[in-house]
C-alpha cells in the first residue's frame, strides 16, 4: 500500500516546471480563440423555439436563449477572455471567465437537437485551467513577475492539471470502447458492422475500404483495442507512447476516410506532448553556439528585475549573466577590456563575436538571441528608434538611483578585488558612485 500511495502521489504531484502547462494553455486557448473568433454565436437567438430541447443543466438551472443583443455583449467578453487566457494576461480572472461563459456558449448549440459529446472534455479542461496556476509559464503574467525578481520553482501544481486532462481523455475513450462491447459484444468486431459503417459514410475512400471485409474487421478490432486500453497510458510510459499516438492516428483516419471531425478532442492531445523536452531537443543546436554575456549592477533592484525578465525570455539559454558587483573578480579575469564603473553605470553586453555594446544597443543585440524578441527586430531598426531608445535608456538610468537602486554607503573600490565593505541599505546619489 505504501508503494501504491507513493506512485499515486508521484503521478499527480511530481514536481515539474511550469513550461508544459504554460505551453498547453497558450496553444489550447489560442486554437479555440481562432476557432470561435469568426463565429457569431448570437445567431442562436434567431432559431425557432420549436427546436428548443434543453440539455440537463440548461433545463435544471432554467437557462434561456438570451436576446441577441445580450448574446453579442457576452460573446465579446468571452472571446476577449479566450485571447487573454491564451497570452496569459490576468490569467486567473481570464481563465475563470472563459470557463463560466463557456458553460453557456459551448453548451448552447447542444440544446437544438444535436449533442456533441466531446465538447464536455473541452469544457472540463477550461475548468481545470481556471483552478490551476497555468499563468506561471509562457505568459505575460510570468514576464511581469520576472521583472519583479520572482521565479517559480518546480511544483506539483504544474503536474496535476495535465494529468487530470490525461485521465479525462483516457476515461472518455475507455467508455466508448466498453459501450461497444457492452451493447454488441464481439459482434461489433467480427460482424459486417464496420463494413456497413463504411458504406454509410458514403465517401470514395470509405466505399473502397468497404469492399474488403477483412480490412473492416481489422479496423474494428484496432478501434476496440486502443479505446479499452486507453487507461494503460496513465500507468505505463511505454504504453503511453503506443496508445495515444494510435488513438490520434485513428481519429485522423476517421476524418480522412469518413469526413467525421473530432476537432474538440484533437486539441486535448496537446497535453500529452512533453513540450519542455521537445523544446530542449529542438534548440540543442542553438545552445551549442557561443552565447552573449550580460553585465549588470547586482545592487540595483531595477537591474535585477530586467535580468529576471531576460531569463524568462531566454528560452534557448544563449545568454550568461554576470553581476558586476559580486562577480567582478571573475569578470576581470575573463573580460579584461571591461571597466567596473562603466558596467555599474550602464548594462553591457559582450556578443558571441566579442563586440561589446551598452544601453539600448545592448538590448537590440540581445533581441537577436531571444526568439521571443525576434518580432521586435524590424521595429528596433526603424529610423529614429535608436536615437529615441538611447535617450530613453539614459533617462531611466539617471533616475534608477532614486527609483529602485540601493547603492553602497561608500564609493566602491574599482579594483580586481571587487567592491569591499559595501553596505547596501542606504541610497545615495548615482553621481557620487559612478
- Of 23-32, 131-140, 207-216, 383-392, the poorest mean pLDDT is in 383-392
More confident residue, 429 or 248: 248
Label each residue of 66-130 as H, E or C.
CCHHHHHHHHHHHHHHHHHHHHCCCHHHHHHHHHHHHHHHCCHHHHHCCCCCCHHHHHHHHHHHH
- Of 60-69, 78-87, 256-265, the poorest mean pLDDT is in 256-265
Q: Taking 50 as the threshold, does the pLDDT of residue 148 lie above it?
A: yes
Q: Say what the pLDDT of residue 96 is.
A: 97
Q: How far apart are CA 180 and CA 119, in angstroms?
A: 20
> Once rounded to an integer, what is the mean pLDDT over residues 152-159?
91
Q: How far apart are CA 144 and CA 94, in angstroms?
A: 16
Q: Say what the pLDDT of residue 240 is.
A: 92
Q: Say what the pLDDT of residue 289 is.
A: 66
Residues 6+ positions from 304 with CB-CB distance below 8 Å? 149, 296, 298
Q: Say what the pLDDT of residue 9 is.
A: 92
Are residues 433 and 412 in contact, defined by beta-carbon separation less than 8 angstroms? Answer: yes
What's the number of CA atoms in the CB half-sphere (13 Å) around residue 192? 6
Tell me how far apart the terminal alpha carbons of the chain are, to the nearest angstrom: 65
More confident residue, 434 or 203: 203
Q: Report the 10 Å Cβ neighbour count for 315.
A: 17
Q: What is the pLDDT of residues 276-317, one digit of tens each?
A: 888 888 777 666 666 788 888 888 877 877 888 888 777 777
More confident residue, 155 or 430: 155
Q: Say what the pLDDT of residue 428 is.
A: 32
> CA separation (Å) from 409 to 142, 292, 412, 429?
34, 32, 9, 10
Q: How far apart are CA 311 and CA 208, in angstroms?
A: 56
Q: What is the pLDDT of residues 314-355, one digit of tens each?
A: 777 778 888 888 888 888 888 888 888 888 888 888 887 788
Amino acid at each position: 500500500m505504501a508503494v501504491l500511495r507513493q506512485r499515486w502521489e508521484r503521478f499527480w504531484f511530481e514536481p515539474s516546471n511550469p513550461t508544459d502547462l504554460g505551453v498547453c494553455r497558450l496553444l489550447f486557448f489560442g486554437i479555440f480563440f481562432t476557432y470561435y473568433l469568426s463565429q457569431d454565436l448570437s445567431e442562436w437567438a434567431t432559431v425557432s423555439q420549436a427546436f428548443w430541447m434543453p440539455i440537463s443543466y440548461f433545463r435544471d438551472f432554467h437557462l434561456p436563449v438570451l436576446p441577441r443583443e445580450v448574446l453579442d455583449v457576452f460573446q465579446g467578453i468571452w472571446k476577449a477572455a479566450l485571447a487573454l487566457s491564451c497570452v496569459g494576461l490576468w490569467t486567473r480572472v481570464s481563465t475563470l471567465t472563459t470557463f463560466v461563459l463557456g458553460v453557456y456558449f459551448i453548451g448552447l448549440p447542444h440544446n437544438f437537437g444535436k449533442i456533441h459529446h466531446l465538447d464536455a472534455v473541452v469544457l472540463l479542461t477550461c475548468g481545470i485551467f481556471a483552478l490551476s496556476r497555468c499563468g506561471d509559464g509562457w505568459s505575460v503574467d510570468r514576464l511581469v513577475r520576472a521583472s519583479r525578481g520572482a521565479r517559480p520553482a518546480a511544483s506539483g501544481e504544474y503536474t496535476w492539471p495535465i494529468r487530470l486532462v490525461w485521465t479525462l481523455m483516457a476515461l472518455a475513450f475507455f467508455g466508448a470502447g466498453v459501450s461497444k462491447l457492452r451493447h454488441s459484444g464481439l459482434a461489433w468486431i467480427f460482424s459486417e458492422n464496420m463494413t456497413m459503417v463504411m458504406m454509410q459514410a458514403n465517401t470514395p475512400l470509405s466505399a473502397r475500404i468497404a469492399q474488403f471485409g477483412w480490412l473492416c474487421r481489422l479496423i474494428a478490432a484496432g478501434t476496440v483495442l486502443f479505446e479499452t486500453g486507453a487507461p494503460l497510458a496513465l500507468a505505463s510510459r511505454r504504453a503511453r507512447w503506443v496508445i495515444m499516438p494510435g488513438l490520434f492516428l485513428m481519429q485522423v483516419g476517421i476524418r480522412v476516410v469518413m469526413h467525421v471531425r473530432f476537432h474538440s478532442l484533437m486539441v486535448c492531445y496537446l497535453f500529452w506532448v512533453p513540450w519542455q523536452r521537445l523544446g530542449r531537443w529542438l534548440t540543442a543546436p542553438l545552445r551549442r553556439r557561443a552565447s552573449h554575456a550580460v553585465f549588470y549592477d547586482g545592487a540595483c533592484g531595477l537591474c535585477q528585475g530586467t535580468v529576471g525578465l531576460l531569463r524568462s525570455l531566454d528560452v534557448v539559454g544563449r545568454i550568461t549573466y554576470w553581476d558586476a558587483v559580486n562577480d567582478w573578480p571573475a569578470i576581470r579575469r575573463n573580460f579584461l577590456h571591461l571597466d567596473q564603473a562603466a558596467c555599474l553605470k550602464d548594462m553591457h553586453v559582450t556578443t558571441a563575436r566579442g563586440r561589446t555594446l551598452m544601453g539600448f544597443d545592448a538590448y537590440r543585440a540581445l533581441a537577436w538571441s531571444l526568439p521571443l524578441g525576434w518580432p521586435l527586430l524590424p521595429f528596433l531598426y526603424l529610423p529614429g528608434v535608436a536615437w529615441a531608445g538611447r535617450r530613453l535608456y539614459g533617462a531611466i538610468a539617471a533616475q534608477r538611483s532614486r527609483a529602485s537602486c540601493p547603492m553602497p554607503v561608500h564609493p566602491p573600490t574599482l579594483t580586481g578585488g571587487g567592491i569591499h565593505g559595501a553596505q547596501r541599505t542606504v541610497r545615495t546619489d548615482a553621481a557620487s558612485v559612478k
